[in-house]
Every structure is written in C-alpha cells, then in structure tokens.
Structure 1
Amino acid sequence: MSYLDQIISPTLLLDEKICRANLQKMAEKAKRHKMNLVPHFKTAQSKEIGRWAKECGIKEITTSSLSMAEYLSEEGWDRIHIAFPFNPLEAARLDQLAARQSMSVQLINLATTQKLVDTLTHEVGFFIEIDAGYGRTGVQVSDFGLIEGILKTAKKSANLRFRGFYLHPGHTYYADIPKIYEQTRQALSMLKSKYRTEYPDLVTRTGDTPGCSVTEDFGDIDELGPGNFVFYDLMQASLGSCTKSDIAVAMAVPVVDIQAGRKEILVHGGGVHFAKDVLLDEHGNKNFGEIVNLTQSGWTLRNDGSHLKSISQEHGIVKASDALLAEVKVGDILGVLPIHSCMTADCMGSYLTLDGKKVDHAEG
C-alpha cells in the first residue's frame, strides 16, 4: 500500500533518504575540520533517527529538555547534553538520569550551580553558556567574575565536572553569518586560551544550523552542535543554508474546499500542525509554507508561487496558481514544505516515511 493511501488527516512526511544524506554531509564536514559533531535533537526528537545518526559515526547528542533526554537515553549514547540553562527544580530528576546515562548541562548562574552541588550524587558534566552578541541567554563573554564564580562553586562537588564553553550564535538567522562567526571564533578561542592551563581537557562548542552549514573556518572550535540541518526547511533555504531539495519533511494536508474565483484552496492544516512561523516576501505578503506535488516516491517542487497565505488553528488557505487550481479537487492531498521544521515536527509528534513506516517522536 502506498504511503498516500494512509493519509486522511494532516500528516508529517519524512524522506529518509534526504534525512540520512543531511546527517552524513554534516558528519563529513565535522570530520573534515577534525571536529566532533554533537547534533541537537530538538529537531528530530526521534530514537529511530538517532539510529540513523549513529550509522554516520555520531556518538553524542544534544537535547533542549530533561524529558527529551530521558526519552532518548535508552539508545546507548556516549553522552547527552541539555542545551538550555538548567532548571534547578529538576536537579533531583537529573541525578536519577545520570545514574544510568552520562549527562552534561549548561550553567549560567551561581544559584543553579550551587543547587547541583547540593543535590548530585552521580557525575554530571557542565558547559558554561557564553553570550557573545545574541542576547538571549548566557554569561557575557567578558564577565570573568561570573565565569570563575561558577567554576569555583562547581569545585565544591566531585560530581560536577567542567567540560567547556558553549556558544549558540542564534543571530545568524538575522544577520551577517561571516561577521558573527568571526566573533564566535574569537570569543571561544580567547576563553580556551585563558582557561586551558587549569582545565587542559576543556572543549568549545558552537551550534547554529545556518553557520554550521555555510562556514568553513571554525578556527580552534572543537565541536559542532547544529540541529535543524537534519530536516532543513524553507527558513534555512531562504538563509542559504540549504536548497529546497535538501528539505527532508513535508506536511500532507487534505483539500476540503476550493474557491476558484478567489484562487484559494482550503486545507486541513493550521497552526496546531505547522506552528505559526512565517516568511515575508518583498511586498510583505505572508508565506506559511510552499506547496509541492506529492508522488508515490516523495514530492516534487512546483515553483509556481502556490503557498499557504494564512493559517488559523485548524485551517490553512492556499494562494493557488492557475495550474494548481486546474489539477486539484476536493479530497485530494497537497504537500507543504514547512517554514520551521523543528516546530512543525514538535506539533505533529510523529512521522510517516515514504515507504509507509511510522517513525517515533518524543511528543508522540
């Protein structure tokens, strides 16, 4: 039975071949630069896709929450890192997980550091998250007082081990990637030089998909931790991180009405399926996803401007080309490339591959 015959409601399709190719390409890039690839699994959130990653030589992963780390911990990873300022209320729960899975966390203040000192009975590593311009979270790169305060506090416990510095230059989504990566290289290199005498094994890690996809000069950064590259999406294509043919997921949505006079198609697919990330064209028109043709073997690009022009909770309205209007009827299934694959996958909680196989997701 074709995977298309299984679809009766919004369904997130996964092209396994493209996904594996994306994993392999980033793994080869890390190897070429003599770096360790520790992909962020906030995008895929899947044990099965984790097994594909292992086939590319990936041994460690990153998550964005303790619950996600618990879900993925049954797969025998060398280490799982939680790339979010650690929530001190979860310290005891972290300690329980650390009894069976090597873990590391991110610290940005003294209070959480002290909480882990007081709580941990099993070893946990930690990175100090650094802010070198993004402004979302992290210790300011020049705040040596706080950095050394965290290190001094952590030394009170034999179970809290310093691993290095983590810097997520998330503003590569909005600004000049080469300039931002120069700042990232300089910040992490300075910190490594300053602290490696006392901590000779410390590592530095950076982890945004736009930068990791296009940059070839990483200086002496030790590890890459991108996440979105596993699937990519239209946002990444617009930034130049990938081409549309590299996007490994597409939403399948049923057509429930057609308004030919308005050149609009109503589909069952809205904010609860896609989230509400949006791209704007040069005229300010909104694009919530690009229409593709679903085939027995996957999907093909249309390149005729047909796109989701608006979404509400369950509804999506497609701005359709004349060609699309001539092809589609009520009850058909359209494919939509998502703007932000991480959020779309999180909303959907599962995948359907092109050979009709269900793939797990932590939220499923």
Structure 2
Amino acid sequence: MSYQDQITSPTLLINEQITRANIKRMADKAARNGKKLVPHWKTAQSHEIGNWAKEYGIKEVTASSIKLAEYLCGQGWDNIHIAFPFNPLEIPRLNYLSANHSLSVQLVNAATTQKLANELTHEVGFFIEIDAGYGRTGVHISDFGTMEEIIRIAAATDKLKFKGFYLHPGHTYYTPDKAEIYEQSRQALRMLKTKYQSEFPNLVTRIGDTPGCAVTEDFGDIDELGPGNFVFFDLMQAELGSCTKEDISVCLAVPVVDISLERKEILVHGGGVHLAKDVLVDANGNKNFGEVVLLNEAGWTIPTDRSYVKSISQEHGLIKASDSLMASVKVGDLLGILPVHSCMTADCMGEYLSLDGEKIDHCEGAFLK
C-alpha cells in the first residue's frame, strides 16, 4: 500500500534518506573538527530518529524540557542535557529521573542553584548558560559574580557537578554576518575556559545553533556542538543559507478541499494547528507560511513554479497557486507543504509517517495517547 493511501487528513511525512544524510553531514563535520556532536532533540523528539542518530556515533542528546528528557530516558543515551533555564518546581521529577539516568541541567541564577543543592537526591551535572549578545537568557559574559556564586553553591554539595559553559548564539538567525557572531562566541567561551580550567580541568564549552553550525567550519577550541534544526531543516534555514530546499526532510501532506479558478487559490486542510504560524515575508510584503511540493511514491519534488501558503487560520490553509499547479490539481488531491519552522510543525503534529507507510514516534504524540 502506498503511504498516500493512508492519508485522509493533515499528515507529517518524513524522508528517512534525507534525514539520515543531514545527520551524517553534521556528524562528519563535528568529527572532522575534533568536536563532540550533542544534538538538540527539540526538533525530532523521537526514539526512532534517535536510533538513526546513534548509527552516526552520536551518544549524547539535548532536550528542551524535562518532559522531553523523560521521553528520551531509557533509550541508551550516555547523558541527556536539559537546555532550558531549570525550573525549580520540577526538582521532584528530576530526582525521580536522575535515580537511574545521567542528566544535566542549565543554570542561570543562584536561587535555582541553591534549591537544587538543598533538594537533589542524586548527582546531576550542570552547565552555566552564557549570554554573549543574544539577550534571551543566560548569565551575561561579564557577570563573573553570578557565575562564581553558582559555582560556589554547587561546590558545597556532592549532588551538583559542574560540566562547563553553554552558549546559544541565537542572533545568527537575524544577522547576516554569522562568522562574526561565531568569532565573538568563540572568544567568549575561550576566555571562560582560560579563567576556570585550572580549577575545573575537565570543563567543556558547548555552542548550539543550526545556522552557525551549518555554515561554520572553524570552531576554534569549542569542545561540543549542539545544533537541532539540522536534522530536518526547513524554509527558514534555507532562507538563512544553512541548507537548500532539497535538504528539507519533512513536509506536511494536506488534502485539497476547494479551488478558486478566479483567484488562482487552493484551499487545503492544513492550518495553524498543523504548521504552526511561523511566517516568512518577502521583499514585497507577501507572507509565506509554507511552500508547495508535489508528492510521489519516492517522496516529493519541488516544482519549478513556486506556489505557497499565503494565509492560514486554525484548520484552513490558502495557497497562492502557480499556473502549472492550477492546471494539474483537483479537489481530493494531496499536496505537500514544506514548513517554515520544522520544529514547531513536528511539535504540532505529534508523529511522522515514513515514505514506507510506517508511523514514527514523537514525544508530543506519545504524551497525548
């Protein structure tokens, strides 16, 4: 049975071959540079895709929440790092998981560090997250007082083990000069390593963002790479130059429910609850919520004439169609939509369908069942 015969409503397709190629490419880059690849699993959120990653020598993984960390426990990872400023209300859950699994957390203030020192029942590693210009979260690169207070509190207990410094230069998503941002990030982490390595000889530095990791070749003395979106890529990454559209390995299959010949528009069942509402805006102000691909037995092809989702509501998607698409599509057909932000689309959908017709797990789908 064709995978298309199984689809009656919006369904997230995954091309295993392209996904594996993306993972292998980043794993090869890390190995070529002598770095450890610890991918952020907020994009894939899957046991099965994790098994693919292990085939390319990946042994540790990063989670975006304790819920995802719990989902990944028991899957053979050497360590699961929760890369979000730790929420002290979740210490009981952390105690439960750390009884049988190697976990590490991200710390950005003394208050949470003290709560962990007081209440942890098992050893947990920690990174101090550093803000070197992004401005979202983390201890500012010049705030040695906070860094040293975190380290001092942790040193008073045998339950917190200092692993190093974590930096997410997320402004690579918004700034064309990614090389300059990475140079600033390298310098910041080098300074911290020089300052603290005599006291902590096993200290490591980790940097994680897909645009930078995808285009950078010289990572200097950074020890570990932690990108996430590279597993699938998406239209945003293609626009940033991290990949080509041919590297995008997921697409949303959507049923065509109406066609307007007058307006050259196609209405599909596939809206904000499926794609999320991330959007790209072109030079003319046109909004793009996803681009049309043509489904076939081998996956999908990218048409020469671009058609795109011009607007979405909860369940509806409205496609601005090219002449060639208008000439070939009919009500009841399936179209594919390349997502603007694959992490959010996967999170919305909660599972994948392979091109072999097999369902592949996702954390969100598992917790809904």
Tell me the TM-score normalized by structure 1. 0.99
Whole-angstrom CA distance in 2 between matches of 1:92 and 1:335: 43
Tell whether 2:290 aligns with 1:289: yes
Counterpart for residue 239 of structure 1: 240
Q: State the shift of 1:303 in Å.
A: 3.0
SS at match of 1:118: helix
Counterpart for residue 272 of structure 1: 273
Counterpart for residue 224 of structure 2: 223
CA deviation vs aligned residue, 1:167-204 (integer Å, no higher than 9, x gap): 00001000020111011000000000000000000000
Q: State the shift of 1:78 in Å.
A: 0.2
Counterpart for residue 353 of structure 2: 352
Tell whether 2:86 aligns with 1:83: no
Could you say what the CA RMSD is over the residues aligned between the two structures, in angstroms? 0.5
Counterpart for residue 199 of structure 1: 200
Tell whether 2:115 aligns with 1:96: no
CA deviation vs aligned residue, 1:62-121 (integer Å, no higher than 9, x gap): 000001000011201100000000000001210110111100000000000001001111
Counterpart for residue 252 of structure 1: 253
CA deviation vs aligned residue, 1:125-153 (integer Å, no higher than 9, x gap): 00000000000000000100110000001
Alignment of 1:1-364 (within 5 A): 1-175=1-175, 176-364=177-365
SS at match of 2:337: strand
CA deviation vs aligned residue, 1:218-241 (integer Å, no higher than 9, x gap): 110000000000000000000000
Whole-angstrom CA distance in 1 between matches of 2:356 and 2:39: 26
State percent identity of aligned pairs: 71
Whole-angstrom CA distance in 2 between matches of 1:346 and 1:294: 22
Tell me the TM-score normalized by structure 2. 0.98
Whole-angstrom CA distance in 2 between matches of 1:17 and 1:2: 17
Whole-angstrom CA distance in 2 between matches of 1:145 and 1:72: 35
SS at match of 2:363: coil
SS at match of 1:262: coil
SS at match of 2:73: helix
Give aligned pairs, total. Answer: 364
What 5-or-longer segments of structure 2 have no aligned partner? none
SS at match of 2:345: helix
Once superposed, which parts of structure 1, at least 4 consecutive aligned residues long, lie more than 6 Å away? none
Whole-angstrom CA distance in 2 between matches of 1:313 and 1:334: 18
Whole-angstrom CA distance in 2 between matches of 1:82 and 1:247: 26
CA deviation vs aligned residue, 1:274-316 (integer Å, no higher than 9, x gap): 0000011110100000100100110000131200000000000
